[in-house]
Amino acid sequence: MGSSRLTSLIIAGVVGLVLGLLLGMLLFWVLFPVQWTDAHSYDLAPEAKAEYVVLVADSFKLDKDPARAAKYFEVWTAQEKEQAFADAIATYTAQARPDKVMNVTDLAMVLGVPLPGTTPAPVATPQPAPGIWERVRVPCLVFFVVLLILVLGWIGLRMAMRRRAEAAPKVPEARPVAVAPVAEEWEGVGQPPLGHFITTYQLGENSYDESFSIETPTGEFLGECGVGISETIGTGDPDKVTAFEVWLFDKSDIRTVTKVLMSEHAFQDDALRARLASKGEAVLASQGSPLLLETSGLQVRVDVTELNYGEGEPPPKSFFSKLTVELVAMARPA
């Protein structure tokens, strides 16, 4: 697979992840937020806790049952009880309700809740319901943080791929490219090539997959071409490659043209040829018989310059020990 196709898959995955996060936060945080049910008394707002204390104090005034009153606060912390009793006294002191204040004071003495001094605690002021911005502020912040992480990760991946490409050994271009005598359909005679690439596979390169960028002299990206493993045969290590894919991707044509270079054994195997037909046209790999890949705007001449078969099992001439392929990319005349 070419680097541009790999990059497209990565970008598609990042975009899908971001859109999924955004949609999930919009649906389940803004439109359908979590609703509280069966909450405990200690989860109440401060003013509601004060009202709760007064209700328990009124009940205690009637039944005088300390154990029952204590049960209503058995899951509260000492700090929560002290604050709630102080808020209740402060609220009803401000409302001039000495009867309620006396009930709360009596209950506090029975339960051993310390009360504040002469200065009453301030009355909690109910807060207005949060607006739409308060509801979406946190999910928006989370979204932008996730997006920033994804963007930085994508930039880092692109830089790593570029450093890897720059660190790859440069192929010398001293070898002449003969194009006219060997391919009757070659239309690029007389034009300077857009790219001249040489790649070699050797037995043991189980992940062999080479791709090359096709660009204009000014650096404009036109497409890619490459060679990769298509099919192996037999068992054991290393993999025994019996067929390779040579492919051409044209940005203006938005398609990839592929042909399958097959060993003699694979080319004569009708079942194997039929199975690989979905990948591209089957071609017997041989020296001196170049083939042509072409799209609406590009041509790539493929020439096998060195071919060696491996020995031993599987059958003779069924897998490659070495294969060198030369690719010459040209612009296809209008």
Clarify whether residues 14 and 158 are in a common domain: yes
Whether 66 and 100 share a structural domain: yes
Report the distance separating Cα 260 and Cα 277, nearest Å: 8
Enter the pTM of the model. 0.46
pLDDT of amino acid 165? 67
Select the more confidently predicted residue: 138 or 30: 138
223 and 309 inside one domain: yes
**Six-digit token pair at 238?**
């290393």
pLDDT above 60 (res 7): yes
Please tell me the distance from the alpha carbon of residue 108 to that of residue 120, in angstroms, as a whole number: 15
Q: What is the largest CA-CA distance in the chain?
A: 113
Same domain for 246 and 151: no
In a domain, 81, yes or no: yes
Q: How confident is the model over 109-158, as pLDDT tens digits?
A: 888 888 875 344 444 444 555 556 666 677 777 778 888 888 888 788 77
Q: What's the CA gap between 119 and 128, in Å, rounded?
A: 27
Burial of 33: CB neighbours in 10 Å, binned 0-12, 13-18, 19+: exposed
Query: Is 120 among the domain residues?
Result: no
- Strand (E) or helix (H) holding 196: strand 195-202
- The residue type of 156 is G
Q: Are residues 204 and 308 in the same domain?
A: yes
Confirm whether 174 is domain-assigned: no
Domain holding 62, by residue range, is: 46-111
Question: Which of 95, 96, 113 is closest to 57 using CA atoms?
Answer: 113
- Residue 170 vs residue 230, higher pLDDT: 230
What's the pLDDT band for 270 if we cut at 50, 70, 90? very high
With contact defined as beta carbons under 8 Å apart, do 298 and 334 qualify? no
pLDDT per residue over 57-109, tens digit each? 888 888 888 888 888 888 888 888 889 898 888 888 888 888 888 988 888 88
Instruction: Look up tokens 């099992």; give the residue.
Output: 313
Looking at the structure of the chain, the number of domains it has is 3
